[in-house]
């Protein structure tokens, strides 16, 4: 495979590629916009270590110095974690980040694009973007959903936050032909809580079954990705009633302040963290680590049959 000239693989990722070892992509917006410093950098390192401990090679993705970096070293993770002006990159923003030379953190959408360019089929994150509450007037629907429809990468996540309208998010994914596969339970996971009250499309607990599904999907030429919903471990779950109160308050504040566009999600995440006195952050970290285990297993299962 010839590598796209805008990509730069780290030595670890390049070697894994040559040896045909399973790779797991990781996003960087969760570092720059999703969590505060220094927990963001610590978590990024722990997630990478967890992927390695479970038999796969981590590839955290960001745009630095005009290159799409696939696999970041310690200094690069630290730079992203400390940066207060990193760009939040979705599909539309990637070329700008390359030509401007600015520091850019990739969202789910942009990470999927870069992972696919690098030949990586599995991507682990915390939660995906989705259809926002009130989208019928704001039109705020994350570009993550369109990306799932077009780019062939499986996204392992703890569902989506109920800052979003989860029912509409599932409807949108259905329309776009994106399968939602649930682990451990029949329901789509609700990020801080296991239960969303909404059924996922399929239940597959085993990585081997998820891998077989993906192979069949791609062999049919259907393209696009899939959502693998992995609920937060029960001991780290936050009660839905508690978190719902914080979410309502954060949403009301965002509306009152006229926050719009790509600033909405980072604003809500930061407010919920403050309102919950840091409890949301502890849950967020626990669920990402849990997703790293499931994602490494899936990458290994997919790789085993290449
Ligand atoms: N949801 C989270 N944490 C996050 C994000 C979403 O629980 O960090 C980030 C991801 O990078 C996701 C992006 O791709 O926010 C979605 O932003 P928007 O809603 O503006 O599309
Ligand atoms: Mn949006």
Eight-class DSSP state of 234: G
As a whole number, mean pLDDT of residues 185-212 equals 98
Quote the ligand 2 centre to 26 CA distance (angstroms): 20
Q: Which residues line ligand 1 at a C-beta cut-off of 6 Å?
A: 27, 29-30, 34, 107-108, 126-127, 129, 142-144, 161, 191, 262, 265, 269
- Asked if the model's pLDDT at residue 215 lies above 60, the reply is yes
> For residue 89, what is the enclosing H or E element?
strand 87-89
| Nearest atom, ligand 1, residue 161 CA | 7
Residue 261: nearest ligand to its CA?
Answer: 2
Of 162 and 22, the structure prediction assigns the larger pLDDT to: 22
Quote the ligand 1 centre to 93 CA distance (angstroms): 15
CA distance 31 to 256: 27
Give the active site residues: 27, 161
- CATH code, domain carrying 162: 3.40.1790.10
Average pLDDT, the chain: 97
Within a domain: residue 58? yes
As a whole number, mean pLDDT of residues 150-176 equals 97
Whether residue 300 contacts residue 22, with contact meaning beta carbons closer than 8 Å, is answered with: yes
CA distance 248 to 271: 11
As a whole number, mean pLDDT of residues 257-261 equals 96
Which of 28, 40, 86, 108 is the pocket-test mutation for ligand 1 (most atoms within 8 Å of CB)? 108
pLDDT band of 236, cuts 50, 70, 90: very high
| Nearest atom, ligand 1, residue 264 CA | 20
Which of 29, 130, 270 is the pocket-test mutation for ligand 1 (most atoms within 8 Å of CB)? 29
Eight-class DSSP state of 299: H
Other beta carbons within 10 Å of 215: 15
Within a domain: residue 23? yes
| Nearest atom, ligand 1, residue 261 CA | 20
Quote the ligand 2 centre to 130 CA distance (angstroms): 8
Within a domain: residue 94? yes
Q: Which residue has the tokens 């980040």?
A: 97
pLDDT band of 162, cuts 50, 70, 90: confident
Within a domain: residue 2? no
Instruction: Note the pLDDT of residue 304.
Output: 67
Task: Give the domain range for residue 85.
Answer: 7-304
Q: Are strands 154-157 and 226-229 parallel, antiparallel or unpaired?
A: parallel
Instruction: Note the pLDDT of residue 137.
Output: 95
As a whole number, mean pLDDT of residues 220-228 equals 98
The domain tally of the chain equals 1
Within a domain: residue 105? yes
Within a domain: residue 15? yes
Instruction: Note the pLDDT of residue 204.
Output: 98
**pLDDT digits 0-9 by tens, 168-183:** 999 999 999 999 999 9
Residue 44: nearest ligand to its CA?
Answer: 1
| Nearest atom, ligand 1, residue 130 CA | 19
As a whole number, mean pLDDT of residues 130-134 equals 96
Within a domain: residue 1? no
Quote the ligand 2 centre to 265 CA distance (angstroms): 7
As a whole number, mean pLDDT of residues 40-69 equals 98
DSSP string, 28-86: SHIIIIIS-TTHHHHHHHHHHHHHHHTT-EEEEEEEETTEEEES--HHHHHHHHH-SS-
């Amino acid at each position: 495979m010839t590598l796209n000239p805008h990509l730069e693989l780290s030595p670890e990722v390049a070697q894994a590629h040559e040896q045909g070892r399973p790779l797991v992509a990781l996003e960087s917006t969760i570092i720059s916009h999703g969590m505060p410093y220094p927990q963001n950098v610590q978590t990024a390192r722990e997630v990478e270590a967890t992927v390695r401990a479970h038999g796969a090679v981590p590839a955290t993705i960001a745009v630095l110095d005009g290159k799409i970096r696939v696999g970041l070293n310690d200094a690069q993770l630290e730079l992203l974690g400390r940066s207060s002006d990193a760009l939040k990159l979705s599909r539309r923003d990637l070329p700008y980040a390359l030509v401007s030379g600015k520091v850019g953190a990739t969202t789910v959408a942009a990470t999927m694009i870069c992972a696919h360019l690098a030949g990586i089929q599995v991507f682990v994150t915390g939660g995906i973007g989705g259809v926002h509450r009130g989208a019928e007037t704001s039109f705020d629907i994350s570009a993550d959903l369109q990306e799932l429809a077009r780019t062939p990468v499986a996204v392992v996540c703890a569902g989506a936050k109920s800052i979003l309208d989860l029912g509409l998010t599932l409807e949108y994914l259905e329309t776009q032909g994106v399968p939602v596969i649930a682990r451990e339970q029949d329901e789509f996971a609700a990020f801080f809580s296991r239960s969303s009250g909404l059924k996922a499309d399929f239940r597959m607990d085993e990585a081997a079954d998820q891998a077989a599904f993906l192979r069949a999907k791609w062999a049919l030429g259907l393209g696009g990705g899939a959502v693998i919903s992995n609920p937060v471990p029960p001991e780290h779950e936050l009660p839905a009633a508690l978190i719902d109160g914080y979410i309502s308050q954060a949403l009301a504040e965002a509306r009152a302040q006229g926050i719009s566009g790509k600033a909405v999600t980072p604003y809500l995440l930061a407010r919920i963290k403050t309102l919950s006195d840091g409890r949301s952050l502890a849950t967020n970290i626990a669920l990402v680590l849990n997703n790293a285990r499931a994602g490494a297993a899936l990458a290994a299962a997919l790789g085993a049959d290449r």
